[in-house]
Structure formats: structure tokens, C-alpha cells
Structure 1
Amino acid sequence: MDVDNLKQANPLGLEPKREKSGSDTFRKYNYQYHWAFCRILDEHECGNDFALFIEEHEDVTIANSLDVTKTTFELNQVKETSKKHTVHSLTSVSKGESQSLIEKLAKSCCDKSYSQKISKVNFVSTGGYSFNTHKKGYSFEVIDSGELNAEEVKKVEDAISKIIGAADFLPKLAFVIPYLPERGFDLVVEGKISSLISKIAPGLKYDANSIYECVIRDLNRKGENSFDYKNWNDALKRKAITSAQLSDVIGQHISRKPDENIVSEMIQILNDEYSLNSLSRRKIVNGFNRYYTKKISSRELIVKEVSSDIIRCIEKLAEKHSNANDLESAVKAELNEKTLSFFQTQEDITGAFLYELLEGVEI
């Protein structure tokens, strides 16, 4: 017999749940991951290199370079809460706790081998703050420790006074009110992806939902990974979302065909000036398309550097060669190592060379 479920009561909803903390805990952790997602979208929009780590000494840790010799770190403790924090609540030890919120944050940063590489320490709270500056009528998204009055500074200093190396902590400390809402944050992040692509590459077709799903799954996977990695490259691969990885994901889920005239000219050059079988020719066309997508969608500095290097070499050598095949051989010999290592195959280099020859330079 068919049952109209729209008219039926939920047997599990007739009694209040004994335990609701599980859902609240999941939402709090889920919020942290989505806040982290927003941060990397902001970094990507600015064209910055980054590596974002979840649950690595703090809730969210952001490196501002993929070069370990140059990078500095921003540590973020993220709280999804309705409580409006005061300096007193941040520096007092709550019942059942052994240390205050500020002490916990300071201990992540002070007297560590990486302490000198820390550029910023943020306490991020959805509940906001009630400091002296708010009593004066100001409402800031980011409140640096320098905005605190003398009494508030004294309370923070007293709270961390027993922590070794705490002298450098206070100047790096800031309090942040996130713009990401406490509810429906997944939809906000997906909308932010759409807004980002529309801004950096207008006219592209894209799949914001697929980009969202790929990145949030990767964030969850890497957040669950509790192993330590002494090697920087291993840490980037297994624990971080990097600028390069995000750029690749976005590139895989957007599409816009190159100008038909350029594609036709490329095919003509391959047919007339390169001795290739059909498989090799297809690989070059695929490399051309991948490079084209990178050029129009990526914010990575490396893409701009690679493009500039190829164009430089073409302009320098073009007059000495009568066909594209010979010119490419000369250009490849002139390219720097960083450019060559950017490409996975020789066909990818050829595709990029042909793109810049047809689109990037005037000969």
C-alpha cells in the first residue's frame, strides 16, 4: 500500500534528542574548513602564492610562499560561537580548563623552532568582540593588538607572562570578525567561487559546484591527516592546499575555446612545418589547450613568468629562423630551467610555444 509520507509524523522527531553536541561540534569544525576555503580564494584573487594547512599547530595555518626559505606563517585560531569576547573572557581560565584562550594561542607560537617565521597570529571569532575601541563607537573587521588600551594590553601580558618567548607574541596578535556567516556557509563559499571566476576571467564557462566539492574534500582529507612531515615538499603534498593546486582545480572545471582562427593557424603550422604522427599532433593540441586555460584562469606568478620567458625568447630569436619548428628548437635551448620544469612533456612545451607565437608576440 502506498503511504503519503508528506502527511506522516517522523517517529524520531516525537521525542527531543538526548545529545545535540555532535551536530554543534561538526558545524564548528565545518565552519573552520569553510573559513579556510574563503581565505585561499581571497589569496588566489590577489595572485598570491600560498600553502594552507588545516590542524597544523593551529586551526588554520597559512604560508605565504611555496619556497620554504622565504615563507612566513600566519596562524589562525577559528571559533564558531555566539559569545562576544572581551579581553577578560579571553584571558581568564574557564571552569574545567587549565589555561585561557589567549594562553592556548600563545603556546602555539612562542618558543617554537618556527616562531621567528610567524608574521601574524589571528584570533577569529564569529561572536565578535567587546573591547574599549567598541565602546568608543568603532567597528573594525580586524583589530590589531595596538588598538587595545593600556588596561587590556596589561591583561593579555599577564595571561602570557609565564610563557617562554612571549615578548614577540603581542605585536603579532590580531582579533578578526569573519565575514563568513555561521549558517549556510557552504552556499556562500560556492557563490564566492562564481564571483571570483567572473572577476578574474569574465566570459568563461565554469562549474562552481565541482570546484567546491573537489577543494572541500581535499581540505577534509588533509585536515584528518595527523601525521607529521619533516620534509617541506611532503608537507605541501600531503597536508596543504597550495596556490598551484587550487589553480589546477579551477582550470580543470572551466572552459572556453581559443579563437578559431588561432587554432586553425596552429593546425596548419603543425601540418606544414612539423613531421608528426596523428597521436603526437593531438598531444600538442591538448598541451596548447591546457596552456591556454592556464593563461586565462590562473593567478599564479609562475604562469606569468613562464609566459614572459617564452615571449622573450621568441622575440629574440624569431628573425634568425624561417619556420616554427626550427624557431621552437632555438627557443627551448634558450628557456630558463624554471620555465622548462613547469611543463610535464615536450608536447606541452610545443603547445605553449605555439600559443605565444600566435597570440603573445608580434613578429
Structure 2
Amino acid sequence: MNNEEPNNKINPLGLDSKREKSGSETFRKYNYQYHWAFCRMLDEHSEGNEYAIFVEEHEDVTLANSLDGKSALFEFNQIKEIANKSTITTLSKDKKDSASPLKKLAESVCNKAFSDKISSVNFVSTGGFSFDLHKKGLSFEVIKVGLLTEEEQAKIIGCISDIDKDNILESKLAFIIPELPEKGFDLAIEGKISQLINKINPGCTYNSSSIYNCIIRDLQRKGENSFDYIDWNSSLKRKAVTSRQLDEIINLHVKIKPDENLTTELLDILKNEYGLSSLKRRKIANAFNRYYAAQLSSRDTELHKVSTELKEIIDSNIENFDTAIDLEEHIFNHRSERLINYFTNREDFSGAFLYELIS
């Protein structure tokens, strides 16, 4: 028996070393930034927080804690996918052709129109850090400047003093070791998506890969957009991925069905009071299910306002009508600007109306 490997199993391109490997390494480092941003999103989403996350907007990853531009505070994160531990010296020392990492960080956030809206500034490094506290056997995931020795703090402040005139970083700078692994980070993100969905919608059917693909593509597309936007809403649309957007994508890819009693009552109303054909009943039933799923998982403040308004209108008018279809027609014809803007078609409005009526 011939034990030699057949020639067709040998890769001709693998017999000689590559001339250039830096392209793959550079892509992996940038790719890591996008996945760290995704990871940061999922952490905020799991806590039920409203947010908008930007990649390559003043810093590698910038997070706003609100969708309201007037009240939003900003977290800036510089991401370093490196193997070596960073020390106070490597962080504060200028190179021949570039400023030190701390100076670059300070230049991104200091003396800006948004500087008074900064909540924190983070230096995130996969290689970790080597500070005096580590020599004492301490290990922290987040290291704020106040945990460092007076000598280390003095070096940091001295490094950025010419830039940070208002001493922003003295109180808001932190050094972070990321939980996201350097390799297999895409699988780690899919795992976090599963954890999130099982937390907010236990027992449902979902496809974490589809959710992952939608979000990571949008993060990359928006991160490549180098334009500036003065208008906040345009910035959210063109540059950010928001908590509202992730809610919508989860709702599209997660199958949640109302309990049997709700479904039975819905179909009974659609058949007996609306007199719709089977296809039209299905459209409204699907809209009902989408609204139901959004109510369970969404942190969209506008949705909660719409829900409250619909309930109040139904309660104040229900005694004046004999059938659900007549009550809906009245509310639809007298709906507010908020309801007009929120529901893009009649089926979505009908589904929401019927949910609020019978739930």
C-alpha cells in the first residue's frame, strides 16, 4: 500500500513563505475594532440601555448613551490589538514619526465642542498593561487613573498637559483589558447574541448568524463613511448603529408567537368583525405578531409612547362602538401626528390597534 500523500493534496502556494503578511494583520486589527464595538453594543443592550455606537468617529469606537443629541454623553475608546503589555513609558513616549498613544488620545477628545459632554475616555489593549499595581499582584479589567501611583499619574498628566488644558483625562481616563478574544471574535459575538436573546426572549426561535451578519456589515459600511454631519439625526442614520436598530433586526430574526388565547381572539375578530379574506387576515396577523414581539423586547421610547396613546384612545372611545373595525376606523381617521409617523401602512396600524385592544 502506498502511504505517500497524493500530489493533489499538496498546496503549491504553501511551499514558499509569503513575501507580505502585513495586509492580513492590518485587516485583523481593524476587524477586531468593529467586533469590539459590536461587543460593546451587546453589553449596553443587555442592560436595557438606549445608545448609538460609531466606529471611526473622532476615536476608534465612540458610544453615545442616548439617541437625543441634546442630552447624550459620549464614551471614547481607542482600541489596540497588540501582543505586548503597555507601560506608562510606552504610552507616554513619542516615536520618531508620531506622537505617543496618550497624546493621540488627548488630541481626539480635548479642546473640542463636545469635550464637556464626555463621560469617559478609554484606552483598550488586548496586550494588557504593566503598571505598579500589577507588580503587587493586582489584576483589574478596568484601571482608572486614580488607581495608579502618584508617579505614574504625574507621567500621564505631564505627557498630555499641553493638550489637555481642562484636565479632562485626569478624571475620565481608564485603561481596559477587553473580554473579547483576539481570535475567534466573530464566534464570540454570535455567542453573546444568543445570550442576549435568551435573556430578553427566552424559549424563542432565532438565528444568531443572521443577526450578526446584518449588524457587522452595517458597522463596517458606516465605519467606512468619512463624511461629517452637523445634523444629529443624519449622523445617527449615516454613521451609527443604534439600540433601536438592533431591536428591529432582532425582531425580524426572532420568532415569537403570542399565547394561544390572544391568537384565537385575534383570528375570531378578523374573521367575524372584519370579514377579511384569508390573505388579508394573514397580513394583519403578521403585523400583530411583529408589534407583539417589539413590545416584549424593545427599549424604543417612541414605541412606548405610541402604545400608551393607543391604549388611552381605545379606553376613551370603546363604549361608543359596537365592533372593533368601527372603533379602529374612528381612531385611524382621527390619529395624531405621532401615530401617522410611526405606522408606515394600514396593516401595521391594524395589528397594533388589535394588540392593544385585546391584550
Cα offset for 1:187? 0.6
Aligned residues: 355
Partners of 2:7 and 2:252 lie apart in 1 by 41
Q: Is the 8 A contact 1:47 1:300 kept in 2?
A: no
Q: Is the 8 A contact 2:33 2:79 kept in 1?
A: yes
2:25 matches 1:24: yes
Q: Amino acid of the residue matched to residue 22 of structure 1?
A: G
- 1:355 aligned counterpart, secondary structure: helix
Q: Could you tell which deviates more after superposition, 280-289 or 78-87?
A: 280-289
- 2:54 aligned counterpart, secondary structure: strand
Cα offset for 1:15? 1.5
Counterpart of 1:33 in structure 2 is 34
Q: Is the 8 A contact 1:93 1:100 kept in 2?
A: yes
Counterpart of 1:265 in structure 2 is 265
- 1:53 aligned counterpart, secondary structure: strand
Q: Amino acid of the residue matched to residue 110 of structure 2?
A: C
Q: Is the 8 A contact 2:77 2:122 kept in 1?
A: yes
Cα offset for 1:167? 1.6
Q: Is the 8 A contact 1:284 1:351 kept in 2?
A: yes
Partners of 1:318 and 1:137 lie apart in 2 by 68
List structure 1 segments (4+ residues) > 4 angstroms apart after TM superposition.
4-7, 275-282, 329-340
Counterpart of 1:207 in structure 2 is 207
Partners of 1:199 and 1:334 lie apart in 2 by 38
Q: Could you tell which deviates more after superposition, 113-122 or 327-336?
A: 327-336
2:240 matches 1:245: no
Q: Is the 8 A contact 1:54 1:240 kept in 2?
A: yes
List gaps (5 residues or longer) in structure 2.
none
Partners of 2:276 and 2:143 lie apart in 1 by 62
Partners of 1:56 and 1:44 lie apart in 2 by 21
Counterpart of 1:69 in structure 2 is 70
Cα offset for 1:263? 2.2
Partners of 2:199 and 2:278 lie apart in 1 by 38
TM-score by length of 1: 0.90
Counterpart of 1:145 in structure 2 is 145
TM-score by length of 2: 0.91
Structure 1 residues 5 and 272: alpha-carbon distance in aligned structure 2, compared to 1, 3 A threshold: farther
Q: Is the 8 A contact 2:251 2:293 kept in 1?
A: yes
Partners of 2:21 and 2:246 lie apart in 1 by 35
Query: 1:1-363 maps to which residues of 2 (within 5 A)?
Result: 8-94=9-95, 96-163=96-163, 165-274=165-274, 281-328=281-328, 337-338=337-338, 340-359=340-359
Q: Amino acid of the residue matched to residue 233 of structure 2?
A: N
Partners of 2:299 and 2:21 lie apart in 1 by 42
Partners of 1:342 and 1:5 lie apart in 2 by 64
Structure 1 residues 97 and 338: alpha-carbon distance in aligned structure 2, compared to 1, 3 A threshold: farther
Partners of 1:76 and 1:5 lie apart in 2 by 51
Cα offset for 1:32? 0.5
Cα offset for 1:183? 0.7
- 1:28 aligned counterpart, secondary structure: helix
Q: CA RMSD in A?
A: 2.3
Cα offset for 1:21? 1.3
Partners of 1:40 and 1:334 lie apart in 2 by 39
Cα offset for 1:326? 4.0
Structure 1 residues 196 and 5: alpha-carbon distance in aligned structure 2, compared to 1, 3 A threshold: farther
Cα offset for 1:53? 0.7
Q: Is the 8 A contact 1:131 1:148 kept in 2?
A: yes
Cα offset for 1:164? 5.3
- 2:143 aligned counterpart, secondary structure: strand
Once the two structures are superposed, what CA deviation does each residue of 1:220-277 show, in whole Å capped at 9, x if it has no partner?
1111111222222221111111111111111111113323432232122133333656
Partners of 1:178 and 1:252 lie apart in 2 by 30
Q: Is the 8 A contact 2:314 2:357 kept in 1?
A: yes
Cα offset for 1:110? 0.6
